[in-house]
Structure 1
Amino acid sequence: MNDSAEDHAAPAPGSLRPGGRTARTRAAVRDAVLTGLSEHGYPALTVEYVAEHSGVHKTTLYRRWGSVEGLLADALDLAGEDAWAPPDTGSLSGDLRALAHEVVEAFGDPATGAAPTAFVGAAFQSPRAAEALHAFYAERFRRCEDVVIRAVARGEAPPGTDAGTVVRAVSAPLFLRLFVTREPIDGAIADQAAQAVLAAVEAGSFVPA
């Protein structure tokens, strides 16, 4: 975990080509942040922990990321740079169900859901984390709009259907159960959420007046 001349001269995260040392450093730091969130939660996450588990010296972490908030925000930024694409099952019904099931897969299992749940919890304690979480989900929902755009083109949804509102409506009841009422979610709940949104779409409820 020794600082090198390259570390001292390194630009901000993400400013080098994807295959360069900066990208590898960001990935190692991101993995350490996720591990720390899963094991200890946001309040107990420290720069020292990330340094120990990433192999990046803590002085480098402070210089590049500034704080735990900076580490958390960049981990979310890096996650948002992936190649994830929404499902394309050939029908609006199938796509909405698949989107709902992705929420269950990401958050439903306590082991796999620990890190993303901690990210959400951190947003209530850190303005910078909240901003990063907002940007992450704004991008995710923007990509998901293709599901509705394709449905309109196939005649499964009325022209003018608000794509952004539709894709948010699918996950909204699931997030309510996860983070507000603290109820479990499963495949049946996911199917119910998707079916309710599908019925509303077909009724024209998502076409602005």
Structure 2
Amino acid sequence: MLAVLLLSTSAKALTAASLYTTMLLSACGPDGSKTDERKQATQAPKPPTTAKSAAAVPGPTAKVVRLTNDSLAGQPFGPEPTVTELLKAGGTVVTRKPFRNLHEAGQIDTILLLRHRGNLFEFYRAPEKDLLRDASITNFETAYGQRLRARMAAAHRPAAGTTERVRIGDTERANYVSVTYNGGRLSAVHVEPYVD
């Protein structure tokens, strides 16, 4: 009976000692130095900042607008400018790259980059047709630029003096037009039609 009493007392003493040691160690920092709990409680943790989160948030005067407009996203120019039309109007070929046709075995098509009055157009040229793949418009003095401006004005009117970015897509999410307004005026349009 005395042995059982001694074992029980020593187990309780061991538990109390380990609890006391744990409490003492929790009051120390990882290097063994004592920490001031009040100091830790008053220091607010800093939120992590990254370049990506800062870049994703536009400035206080800029806003991003998303619209769905099938006709505008699918035909932003109305009648689309053609390679022949652009070349006749003084456009120049910047690059030509061969491209293997994914649907016709052995057929090599061309990716054509063309510049016209500061605007850039990328066409997929196949023997049967030219398909517009991409266009970046900053000069709206041309006939196609004026059509584009008129169609954008009918779709969206930014507030005067604001900077806005408008992303216009179709319901199938295949064709997109990205528009930038500076000071409430149209400054750039990026056309991204779907090409298979």
TM-score between both structures, scaled by the size of structure 1:
0.19
Higher radius of gyration, 1 or 2 = 2
Which of the two has greater helix per residue? 1
Which of the two has greater strand per residue? 2
TM-score between both structures, scaled by the size of structure 2:
0.20
